[in-house]
Structure 1
Amino acid sequence: MEKREEKVVCVTGASGFVASCLIGTLLRKGYTVNATVRNVADPTKVDHLKALEGAKERLRLFHADLTVKASFDAAVDGCDGVFHTASPVVFDNIKDPQTELIEPAVNGTLNVLRSCLRSPSVKRVVLTSSLAAVVISRKALEGNAIADETWQSEPGFCEEIQAWYCLSKTLAEEAAWNFAKSHGIDLVVINPGLVIGRALQPILNVTFEEFLQFITKGTSSIVTADGTVILVDIEDVVQAHILALENPSANGRYCLASASLYKSEVYKIIRHLYPTFTLPPCDENDRLKRSALQISKEKVKSLGVDFVPIEQSIKETIEFLKERNMLAVP
């Protein structure tokens, strides 16, 4: 694998699912990584990072907080590139969307970009956004729709259906683009669907909990307004982020989804993989009501992303949950 010893990058939100896996790959590729976490003394946040191959030599941990101005200055200083993955992820039991989600997402993103602006070494910023900032709109409810990088989620529609996480990602990405264009920052944005696969951190994040609820109880916030589940493998997400940094021609947004499926289609895959596993009741004709919203792969494939088959991703996820004793599958 090509080495990158001369390259120093920053990864924010380092203890998270995407960031942890991204850091692992960056270290294996020879990068030096400045990783930010809210509490560098918390073993549940940093021990899995310290255990990564190459961490002893090339991983530096920094305390940083999305809500604190200039908090990311030290971590960003001297870096060639910055991966901003940190953002609050909350789907349920939200009492104050503005305080719990929107302000930390928007202001945190701007804090990171301001730190990048203060560091002349930074050549490119790769922002982890979401398809939540792309497909939450009335247009997505139309039959035979194919979403691409030109689509934008509608803040008003997000508020109407109380999709607060989606609203936070939409507003944070919008703020990032406005700031980057105003200050000449080279920004590339990755918009993944629900990320599945194998995680490194000891504590399962919200998306795993939602996926677990989806296959055990049949209800979950991961189902979009049009009734579909949009999935992508963690390996694809990591690959897209690194390609977005390394490829000089990378630009704009990249939608990232290996499959967009109705519940019955996901359950069919699981039944094939695990015939004795009992799934919740499901409308087996949901896929016949109308065509599921699809996500264009044209632009992201031009970046060089080669998607993991969705059946493999689902199997890896279930096996991972079994190993963590979160799911009993015969």
Structure 2
Amino acid sequence: MSTDDRKKTACVTGGNGYIASVLIKMLLEKGYAVKTTMTWRRTPTSKPETNSIASWQKEVIEPAVRGTLNVMRSCVKAGTVKRVILTSSAASVIRTQLQGDGHVLGEESWSDVSTSPPPSLVSGYTRGHASVQVQAYPVSKVLLEKAASGFAEEHGVSLVTVCPVITVGAAPAPSARTSVPNCLSLLSGDEAEFGVLRAMEMATGTVALVHVDDVCRGEVFLAEQEAAAGRYLCCGLNTTILELARFLSEKYPQYTVKTNLLSGDLLEKPRVHVSSGKLVKEGFDCKYKMLDGMYDDMIDYGKALGILP
């Protein structure tokens, strides 16, 4: 078989994950041979432990950095990997202290990791990672990105990092632990999941959304673009909880938007906009830029996952 006839091969880690399951399907449809690994999630330690800063470091930060570097080392050892696409998160970009409105954040921005979260904000770890997701998660993403970047530079690895915002849409994965239940919480009435969504809006000044298909399309695009380098934000839409509630109420009247959750200080308009300008400049654009399109397959997926009745 000639070289031109051989399938391109991609390895996707965490193949049983939400984004990875869509990526694998997309790669197979494009004719790639796909190898994957499965992610095993261990049970968190007991809640007294999870209230400590030490456990925050042990349970969230260290596994993220160590796991990323282990994959990078394997790529170097294999000697056949042409490019590594690291899926990080816009959480590494948008957790910054900004005054006023109208800010546009790009790849040059980094979330503030100078302060550790107070123990009270870590106490939600044993219930769906609620508080840790908001507080420790951004720190883990900043540190793993910087560790991966340093390793890639030292070992001559072609590394591209994709930082998607809150990711929505249906996937082959039979579970979705964070963004999908968060973004359906106004319909499900799950106060803990809504609390995460609200905390993200308060911390970042926006509810920035992207469809999972666009994230995966972007990753394949960057894997195939020889000139691609550095970090890339992937965002289809900047909105707010109030705008989301109005949309859901009009689009899905068969569900009752849980207006009792909409108390306190909620934004009318985003104070911050996350920009995919770098991706767009290099020739990629999101297909899903409106809530209508992003939620088309979310309701049925939510039913399949047992989030919605």
Say whether residues 1:229 and 2:207 are aligned partners: yes
> Aligned residue for 1:150?
108
SS at match of 1:126: strand
**CA offsets 1:102-134 (integer angstroms, 9 cap, x no match):** 111001101111111112211110000000000
> Aligned residue for 2:65?
106
Counterpart CA distance in 2 for 1:302 and 1:312 is 23
322 and 174 in structure 1: CA distance in 2 versus 1, 3 angstrom threshold: same
Given candidates 170, 185, 195, the residue that maps to 1:220 is 195
Given candidates 282, 301, 309, the residue that maps to 1:320 is 301
Say whether residues 1:136 and 2:115 are aligned partners: no
SS at match of 1:239: helix
Structure in which a larger fraction of residues adopt helix = 2
RMSD over aligned CA atoms reads 2.5
CA contact (8 A) 2:94 2:204 kept: no
CA contact (8 A) 1:127 1:189 kept: yes
Say whether residues 1:185 and 2:143 are aligned partners: no
CA contact (8 A) 1:124 1:187 kept: yes
Q: Which amino acid aligns with 2:223?
A: L
1:84-99 equivalences under 5 Å are 94-95=50-51, 96-99=55-58
CA contact (8 A) 2:239 2:270 kept: no
**CA offsets 1:84-118 (integer angstroms, 9 cap, x no match):** xxx99x9xx75421121111100110111111111
Say whether residues 1:254 and 2:232 are aligned partners: yes
Counterpart CA distance in 2 for 1:284 and 1:206 is 23
Deviation (angstroms), 1:38: 4.2
> Aligned residue for 2:267?
287
Identity %: 31
Given candidates 253, 262, 277, the residue that maps to 2:255 is 277
Extract unaligned runs of 5+ from structure 1: 40-86
Counterpart CA distance in 2 for 1:285 and 1:170 is 28
Say whether residues 1:265 and 2:223 are aligned partners: no
15 and 108 in structure 1: CA distance in 2 versus 1, 3 angstrom threshold: same
1:171-210 equivalences under 5 Å are 171-210=143-182
**Residues 316-325 or 252-261, more deviating:** 316-325
200 and 266 in structure 1: CA distance in 2 versus 1, 3 angstrom threshold: same
> Aligned residue for 2:286?
306
Counterpart CA distance in 1 for 2:248 and 2:264 is 14
Give me the TM-score of the superposition, normalised by structure 2: 0.80
CA contact (8 A) 1:128 1:189 kept: yes
1:59-78 equivalences under 5 Å are none
Counterpart CA distance in 2 for 1:158 and 1:257 is 27
